[in-house]
Every structure is written in C-alpha cells, then in structure tokens.
A and B are shown apart, each in its own frame.
Chain A
C-alpha cells in the first residue's frame, strides 16, 4: 500500500484546500432520501472518468494503451440519442449503443492481439475515425433528447446518484473477477513478459483481446452517462480528452505504463484526484484561462513524488541511485 501514499496525500491535500475556501465543503445533507453535497458531486462527475480508467488499467497492465475511449464515448452517446430522438425505447437505445461499443472493442483487440499492431497506433485509428463515425450517426447535428429513463443514468438517485453506483459496482466487479480468479495474475504475467507467458501456455491473445473489449464497454457506459447528463449527443465534444484524464488517473494510481502489476484502488484514487482537481479549479476561483496550467502543475507534482529516483534521493540525500530491484512494486492493490 506504500505506493498509494502520495496519491492519497494529494487527494487529501486537495480536499483540505477546498475546505479552506469553502468551509461547508465536507457537509452532506439527506433530502427526500437523496444525498447531496460537494463530495457527492465530485464522485458523480468523476464517475465517467473512473469507469474509463478501470478499463484503461487492465489495458495498461497488458502493456497496451487505449486512445480510442474518447471517440467511443461520442459514438455511444450518438447511437443512444439518435435512436431515442427517432422515437425508440431508451433501454433498447442503450443496449444498441453498448453492442456497438463491443464491436469497436473487438476491432481494437483484433488489431492489437491478432495483427500485432502497436496499441498506440491501433487505437489511434479509432480515436481519429471514431468521431467521424459519431458525426455520421448524428448527421453533424447535436441531437437533444428528453427521455426520463435515459436521464436517470446520470440524474437518477438511489440514495446516491445512479452514476456513482454504476461506477462503484463496475469497480467491485472488476476487483472480484480479476483478484478472486486467476485473471489478474494472468493479465500481469502477459504484461510483464508476453513471450514467457505464451510459452507457459497462457492464452495471451485472448486475454489481450478481452481487455480491449472491456475497455470499450466501459467507455460506452461512460458515454451514456455523459450524454444523459446533458440530454444530448455532441459528436465533437463528448468525451474530448477523456482518454488523457483516464491514463493520468491510472498513472497517478501507481500502475506503470510499462505493464505488469496494477492497482484498482490506485486507479480509484487517481480518478478522484483528477476530478477533485477540476472541482477545485472552480471553487477556489482559478481563472479559467489558467486552469489547465494549474491542473498540469498538480499532476506533475504527484507523478514526480512517485518517481523511484526522486523518492530514493529524498530518502538518502546525495546517495547513488537505488538498485533497480528497489523499484519493483511489492504489493498489488485490491487483493
């Protein structure tokens, strides 16, 4: 758990900063059986990023990366909204959107695991083409919908907003499936050493294919949340740059881009850091034109604090770099 210390401290520091500017920041109130408060808002607004970051965590653990999630978000919203706007049932619309996302995930996984294209290139294809597909579906318009069932995805409540519940259920399910079975260990093995895993009889191809499908599905659900939140599908802007936020969340959570050991708890904390940061920018009144710079500064600090070289130097001033063994992560997160 030691490597989660810095991201956790960063999260706490950000929350305390908010408390100074807004003394009522931590207050929660229950109204009509619904929980309200700034913390709930952070969780709700961070739900799409968390979902996408969960899918991204498994992809990164296999040494891959999925740049197409933002485009998949746009496509999912476009399909659902267009179908509803044409008078279709909201449930059917969402299932249709997710089915298409599944196909998109299969496409990414096919490029990476069967054709052996480098993940960054393979998913770049869909990253650029995907928004075009979304535009085709919406015929270049912003499709607005007014469907109550669809609105529930982001606006609905069961004590907590449904969006939060969905993301937490997915987190729990991933944790359970990867750590209660051998899937997590096999994903890590493939990520650390694909050839050794193949020679040990691991179905590397199937595993890699699966994580891309899962990543696209997560992005699809996130896309439905985002579209539901604004009651509209915006092919150009829905989920724009969300792949960067998701990758950052994973990295802040301590999962290495080199693949291998991953931490879902870390990703949860990372996603919360990112979302709290966005909220903080508004609450402490950082001028909008400098908000991205502010965000970047915090992210750089958190990443630096995790760098083995820097932590080594902090522990032993003027000493030589620690032996590489020390950089090997000792524990995994959710076990």
Chain B
C-alpha cells in the first residue's frame, strides 16, 4: 500500500446489456503492489467489471486509465498486450499440451523458424521457479490436478510481465493447502509491484490476503475500504443489503427436527474400487446428514453410489429395510431418491433449455415421453418454486444459461423438489454462489428435513456442513473414518481427519 497514483483508474463506467444496466457509474482504483478484493453477490457486476477492464465488453460511458493513460480495449488480446493478465475460475488452458507449451503459448522461443523445445522448457522452468512451483515443464498439463493447472495459468500471466493480474474466483476448487500455495505466490507477485485484483466468495480468504476491497451491489459501488477497517458483519451487510437473520433460523430449526426411529436407507459395505472403500451408512427421514472431508476424499463418489450414477461393486442398499437395486439413476429416481451434482453445468442443467423445461425435466423423464406434463401444471410448478426459492429473473421462458450461478442452483434444486423425493442428495449445492443465495438454500434444506425428508448434504465448507447437519460423516482418502454428532465443532472434524492421518503414518 503506497501513496502512488493508481495503476488502474476506472471512472464512471456504465455497461448496458439489452434491458439491464449491468454496471452503473462505477469507479474503481487499483494500486501497484496491492491485493484488491472485489466482492458482491452473484449478478452484482463483478464479472462485468472485469470484462470491461479486459476488453470483452466495451463500456457505454466512462473512462479507463492505465498508468494515467486513457485506454480503450476492444479485445482481451489488446488488454493482455497492455499488461493485464486474467486467470479465470474455469482454467482455460490446453490440457493436451505440456506445461511449458501452455505457459509460452503464442510466444514460443524460435530457432531456425521452428519452435525451440529446449529453450522453451528452460524458460518455462525459470518462470515456474519464480512462483516457486516445482513441476516438470515437459509434462502434460492434464497430468496435474486442477490446483496446479491454476498455478500454471498464473505462471502464464507472469510470463507476459503482467502489471495487473486478475484472479476471478481462483480458489473455488482448491483445498486449504492449495489455497495457501496460491496466496504465497500472490504475495511474491505483490512484492514485485504487481497489482492483483482478487474475486472470491470466501470472506476468510479476503481477510487473509487482501489489502483493500471494493464492494459491488446491483451494478453499483457500495464501498471501497481498507480490509482492516471493515468488519465481516459490515461487509456482508454491504454485499446483500440486509442482515443475515435467516442463518440464525437455520440453527434453530435443526433443534426442532425429530428424525424417525427406523432408517429410510441403509448402505451395508457399499463400495466401488478406486472410488470409495466399502462403508456403512444409515439415513433417516427428517434428518440432515452432512458429509465432510477434504477435496478428493470421496464425497462425490459416495453420493453417486447411493444414486446409482455409478455401479457399486460391493455391498448392498436397503430401503425401508428391503434390499433394492440402484444400478442406474432411473432406478434410484423410481425409489424417490434425488441427486444434484456438484458440476452444475456439466451434469446438472441443460443450458440451452428454458427454466420451465429444466424444472420439469426429471418429472417428465419419470412420466415418459408420451405423457407430457401439461403446460398448466408446468407453469404452476414454475410459479411455485420461482416464488419459494426466489429464482430471478422470474421468467419461465428464460434460457437457463443466462441465469447467475445461484439462480441456476435453485432451478436444479427445484427440478428435484418437484418430484417430491424421500431422500435428497445435495453435492456442493452452495459452491460458487453468493452469501444470500447460500443462506436461502441452507434454509430450504432445514425446512425440507423438518417436513420429513432425508437429506444428505455435501460441502467443502466445514462450517456450513456443521451448521446444517444433525450428524456428520467424515471421509478421508476415499474411506469413511467416522461419524460425529451435529453439535461437534469444525475443530473436532479436523482433529478426526488429522488423527487418522497420524495413525496411517506411524
């Protein structure tokens, strides 16, 4: 933090899409050598601001100055040439190429007109060591986990000698250790005088890394603060414009719930080689069971077995005490089990169809193609869930791809609620969505359990799992290592995971 002049100075920019003002008269300053967090709910205009800065969108009004010089970019390539590098939430590198090729794509060192492979690997190794990442530059990018790929994307940004580095939700698919690694690299770059714009939904991370922050709401700036000068509560209030009283409600509700005596579903020795070791599990009606564990601990694999999305190769499942076959999702759905995937885009929504079509898809599939859900029934269902889940825009004919992440998640949830399941499996239902939508989804989960539904709730955020659940299953290294009551703390879960880890190593 210095008293230098800002490296990026955005003044009064407005971006309009057909029918919406995505950004309205927004000012934004970014200084060299700072990490600046950009906060706001989904749809607040964070992405639009980034896209205006990187030349994807052209502002309708206002001015962008880079190091004091007014600039106007018409493509991301122009912005990159001016020293603005962007790393997106979804890694957009070529996984089939090597690490070195990815870092130097388009700027390969040449010798006699052809690419000099040796020089390229040497240069890549140098860049990787600058950010302290020790991997073989000649290895295929696809052989590394997503977290490393993300760091390679940052190395690529460093390679162009970026003065401004934009990180758009870089941490949403990273585990704690990987986040620490990312932050270490961000600090190195900050020391070098790079201005870093950091977008994240995780407030803890913002407080850990950011020097200053800017909050957006409904396309307008509601505050620019030094991170130390603002409390979390103030921040949340600024982002959503109201208090988070719903969260307290979630807590209270879990105390009122009375799980049934007999289990709805029992898994006995259920497992799949390479996915998850055989486990036992009981789920009761009127109960939320959480699944906790680090990334790659087998959370999703467990859920997919219960839904028949993957075949189990050991054990059996009993429903109401009777063994059932769960070999395909259709069989599971027929037993009124529902599952929302963590991969909303890839395995959840049908992007090009409307909200209405997406909402009735599971119900329609269960009825068969020849018995179309009557238009009136569909419209009633859409209206009901658009209202109860607060889906925006409230237009049943809107194409789902145009909705924000939180609203897409609600549509996905509604698709299954329409089928009135007895067991609802939610895999990361709150990933990448804003605080307000997150609280709403948690509240819906609590309500459903109180009405007698069994819910299996999976989340990477331990605080969230503990808050929502009556009972928590803890996984580690694709193995169930224990169960904890809902009153346990996050530390208890971590101790269980760590304790088990020690046992393995000694």
Cβ-Cβ contact count across A and B, 8 Å cutoff: 94
User: A181 to B347, Cβ gap below 8 A?
Assistant: no
Can you list, as one digit per residue, whether each of A323-335 has a CB less than 8 Å from chain B (1) or not (0)?
1010011100000
Residues of chain B within 8 A of A12, CB atoms compared = none
Interface residues on chain B, size class: 35 or more
Residues of chain B within 8 A of A192, CB atoms compared = 350-353
A261 contacts the other chain (CB 8 A): yes
User: A328 to B74, Cβ gap below 8 A?
Assistant: no
User: A195 to B347, Cβ gap below 8 A?
Assistant: yes
Can you list, as one digit per residue, whether each of A248-269 has a CB less than 8 Å from chain B (1) or not (0)?
0000000000001100000000
User: B329 to A198, Cβ gap below 8 A?
Assistant: yes
Q: Which of A184-210 contact B (CB under 8 A)?
A: 185-186, 188-189, 192-193, 195-203, 207
User: B361 to A197, Cβ gap below 8 A?
Assistant: yes
Query: Smallest distance from the beta carbon of B84 to chain A beta carbons, Å?
Result: 16
User: A203 to B365, Cβ gap below 8 A?
Assistant: yes
Residues of chain A within 8 A of B362, CB atoms compared = 200-201
Can you list, as one digit per residue, whether each of B141-171 has a CB less than 8 Å from chain A (1) or not (0)?
0000000000000000000000000000000
User: A188 to B352, Cβ gap below 8 A?
Assistant: yes
Can you list, as one digit per residue, whether each of A315-327 has a CB less than 8 Å from chain B (1) or not (0)?
0000110010100
Query: Smallest distance from the beta carbon of A321 to chain B beta carbons, Å?
Result: 9
User: A180 to B366, Cβ gap below 8 A?
Assistant: no
Residues of chain B within 8 A of A261, CB atoms compared = 352
A297 contacts the other chain (CB 8 A): no
Can you list, as one digit per residue, whether each of B323-362 has a CB less than 8 Å from chain A (1) or not (0)?
0000001100100000101000011111111000100011
Query: Smallest distance from the beta carbon of B187 to chain A beta carbons, Å?
Result: 34
User: A185 to B365, Cβ gap below 8 A?
Assistant: no
A314 contacts the other chain (CB 8 A): no
Cα distance A198–B333 in the bound complex, in angstroms: 11
User: A201 to B57, Cβ gap below 8 A?
Assistant: no
Closest to B356 in A: A185
A185 with B352: in contact, given A196-B346, A201-B366 (CB under 8 Å)?
no
User: B74 to A186, Cβ gap below 8 A?
Assistant: no
Residues of chain A within 8 A of B415, CB atoms compared = 200
Cα distance A201–B362 in the bound complex, in angstroms: 6
Question: Which listed residue (B75, B347, B370) contacts A199, Cβ 8 A?
Answer: B347
User: A196 to B75, Cβ gap below 8 A?
Assistant: no
Closest to A316 in B: B58
User: B366 to A196, Cβ gap below 8 A?
Assistant: no
Query: Smallest distance from the beta carbon of A153 to chain B beta carbons, Å?
Result: 30
A181 with B365: in contact, given A188-B352, A199-B339, A320-B55 (CB under 8 Å)?
no
A183 contacts the other chain (CB 8 A): yes
User: B329 to A325, Cβ gap below 8 A?
Assistant: no
User: A260 to B352, Cβ gap below 8 A?
Assistant: yes
A20 contacts the other chain (CB 8 A): no
A293 contacts the other chain (CB 8 A): no
A201 with B55: in contact, given A195-B346, A196-B347, A196-B348 (CB under 8 Å)?
no
Most buried by B among A181, A182, A195: A182
Residues of chain B within 8 A of A319, CB atoms compared = 58
Cα distance A320–B15 in the bound complex, in angstroms: 14
User: B352 to A328, Cβ gap below 8 A?
Assistant: yes
Residues of chain A within 8 A of B17, CB atoms compared = 323
Question: Which listed residue (B365, B371, B372, B399) contacts A201, Cβ 8 A?
Answer: B365
Residues of chain B within 8 A of A196, CB atoms compared = 341, 346-350
B364 contacts the other chain (CB 8 A): yes
User: A182 to B372, Cβ gap below 8 A?
Assistant: yes
Query: Smallest distance from the beta carbon of B344 to chain A beta carbons, Å?
Result: 9
B484 contacts the other chain (CB 8 A): no
Query: Smallest distance from the beta carbon of B15 to chain A beta carbons, Å?
Result: 11
Cα distance A202–B366 in the bound complex, in angstroms: 7
Residues of chain A within 8 A of B185, CB atoms compared = none
Closest to A185 in B: B357
Cα distance A192–B354 in the bound complex, in angstroms: 12
Cα distance A261–B401 in the bound complex, in angstroms: 14
Can you list, as one digit per residue, whether each of A68-108 has a CB less than 8 Å from chain B (1) or not (0)?
00000000000000000000000000000000000000000
Residues of chain A within 8 A of B75, CB atoms compared = 320
A199 with B56: in contact, given A185-B364, A193-B349 (CB under 8 Å)?
no
Q: Which of A160-194 contact B (CB under 8 A)?
A: 180-183, 185-186, 188-189, 192-193
A-B contact pairs, 29 of them (CB 8 A): A180-B372, A181-B369, A181-B370, A181-B372, A182-B364, A182-B367, A182-B369, A182-B372, A182-B373, A189-B353, A189-B361, A193-B346, A193-B347, A193-B349, A196-B341, A196-B346, A196-B348, A196-B349, A196-B350, A200-B329, A201-B329, A201-B333, A201-B366, A260-B352, A320-B75, A323-B17, A323-B56, A325-B399, A325-B402
9 more CB-based (< 8 A) A-B contacts, given A192-B353, A320-B75: A180-B372, A193-B346, A193-B349, A193-B350, A196-B349, A200-B329, A201-B329, A202-B365, A328-B399
A→B interface (CB under 8 Å): 180-183, 185-186, 188-189, 192-193, 195-203, 207, 260-261, 319-320, 323, 325, 328-330
B→A interface (CB under 8 Å): 17, 55-58, 74-75, 307, 309, 329-330, 333, 339, 341, 346-353, 357, 361-362, 364-367, 369-373, 399, 401-402, 415
Give 4 nearest A-B pairs by CB, closest first.
Answer: A201-B365, A201-B333, A182-B372, A202-B365
